[in-house]
Amino acid sequence: MSYFDAASSAPLHPVARQALQASLDEGWADPARLYREGRRARLLLDAAREATADAVGCRPDELSFTSSGTRAVHTAVAGALGGRRRVGRHLIVSAVEHSSVLHSAELHESGGGTVTRVPVRRSGAVSAEAFAAGLRPDTALACLQSANHEVGTVQPVAEVAQACGESGVPLLVDAAQSLGWGPVEGAWSLLAASAHKWGGPAGVGVLAVRKGVRFAPQGPVDERESGRAAGFENIPAIVAAAASLRAVRAEAAAEAARLRELTERIRARVPALVPDVEVVGDPVHRLPGIVTFSCLYVDGETLLHELDRADFSVSSGSSCTSSTLTPSHVLKAMGVLSEGNVRVSLPPGTSAEEVERFLSVLPGTVSAVREKLGAPAGPTKTPAASDSVVVDALGRRCPIPVIELAKVIGDVPVGGTVRVLADDEAARLDIPAWCEMRGQEYVGEEPADRGSAYVVRRLS
């Protein structure tokens, strides 16, 4: 089985396993106690904090361990907003932040705060200038991920941090995806990360708050972790997280070069092997191990199941694999195709042979799924007399509305239109993306009795 979903959770690093097993015998006592077992546990916790702070690029007394990366983000957002409440209640985030940030933003709005969501380019990156333009006198906090978790695009954190610093606004960086590859550049104010993203055990988050940043922990006060993370520290897991972070950092330069070559191979060859594919994300400024592409006329859930049967574990941002039945907010913000979306995120140690086998299996798998769904396989029909066609795809999920559009676009003459009636949220994203890929004109969305009517004009 080839595990290609390291962006969700990386396999436990061998060093983490060794450290976890060793510290189970030494780190079980309360580190706040003064007896021998407590002092021993405290030494382990302090050493782990120092090692992690060194990797993050902060002081040990600026770093706390939380129960998860999500908890670190929630604590950071709430604490920073609470500490700067007198400044104002405006929060600024990018449109492609992790859901933990966006959920915190929604909670802030529901409590009377205001939120600006900065749009991104088609590559998935924000413009530093656009982000800076969103800063206001009442901005209490800004949030920007170091790199995107779905498409791997690296964000201009240093430039945004400089703009925030000039405006006196603290910047929170979600570094979950990038911290294993290196420290975050720029004068950030707060940072959150998650150990299981770099091969540490699950259940360990990292929260760094620079000295001088106004921070007011919300909720009941606890004496542990500077009052920022309530509850007894999981010292064995923390020790393992710190040990694995040091280990992956030592291997990062060589492994990054190797994985970047493998993902570049996938980016270049998938469009040549599989027709009607859009590779998404920045082609240059991206993490080493992540490559994401979307396939027209493909049901994402079926595609992932078929790849799993072929012994490949991948993930998807397609609404066809989502419990919410809506496309990934990242793909939606980028304005790219969401149907048939596949994210390949290679863990350290992935071999070239595994990637070659994936590239050999993918074309036949996509073709079989398309055939099962009745996707068009050849030229469109000869133009008919009618200059307008209506496609009723109501009640049908992606990628059926786009498949039906592709089947009938040849039924209208050049200049004619097709109206696709659909009530699947993915159609709002995938029909314009299909037009861009196919060289047709997306006229726009019109209201309908049910769902919406998406109007497409044939140009060729």
Average pLDDT of the chain is 93
What is the average pLDDT across 391-415? 91
Torsion of CA 273, 274, 275, 279, to 10 degrees: -100
What is the token pair recorded at 336?
């790219």
Sheet bearing 341-345, strands edge to edge:
277-280, 290-295, 341-345
pTM summary value: 0.91
pLDDT value of position 219: 82
pLDDT exceeds cutoff 80 at 321: no
Give 319's pLDDT tier (boundaries 50, 70, 90). low
Residue 38 vs residues 22, 24, 35, 66, 449: alpha-carbon distances, Å: 16, 14, 5, 20, 68
What's the confidence (pLDDT) of residue 325?
62
Q: How far apart are CA 386 and CA 401, in angstroms?
A: 20
With a cut of 60, say whether residue 151 has pLDDT above it. Answer: yes
User: At residue 114, what are phi and psi to the nearest 5 degrees?
Assistant: -120, 150
Please give the Cα distance from 368 to 155 (Å, whole number).
37
Highest mean pLDDT among 29-38, 178-187, 438-447: 178-187
Helix (H, G, I), strand (E, B) or coil at 43: helix
State the average pLDDT over residues 6-23: 96
Tokens of 329: 């907010």
What pLDDT score was predicted for residue 83?
96
Q: Which residue type is seen at 363? A: P
CA distance 342 to 344: 6
Q: Which of 315, 294, 283, 346 is nearest to 124 (CA)?
A: 283
Q: For this structure, is 143 an active site residue?
A: no
Of 76-80, 162-166, 409-413, the one with minimum mean pLDDT is 409-413
Question: Can you tell me the mean pLDDT for 264-287?
Answer: 96
| Number of Cβ atoms within 10 Å of the Cβ of 39 | 12
- Strand partners of residue 397: none
pLDDT tens by residue, 198-229? 999 999 999 999 999 999 998 887 778 877 88
Q: On the CB side of 401, how many CA atoms lie within 13 Å of its CA?
A: 35
Give 460's pLDDT tier (boundaries 50, 70, 90): confident
Q: How far is CA 95 from the centre of its chain?
A: 11
134 pLDDT higher than 90: yes
Residue of 58, 164, 320, 435 marked active site? 320
Which pLDDT does position 383 carry in this prediction?
A: 47
CA–CA dist 417, 67 (Å, integer)? 54
Q: 127: helix, coil or strand?
A: coil
Mean pLDDT of the 366-387 span? 74
| Statement: residue 323 has pLDDT above 70 | no
Peptide bond into 363 cis (omega under 30): no
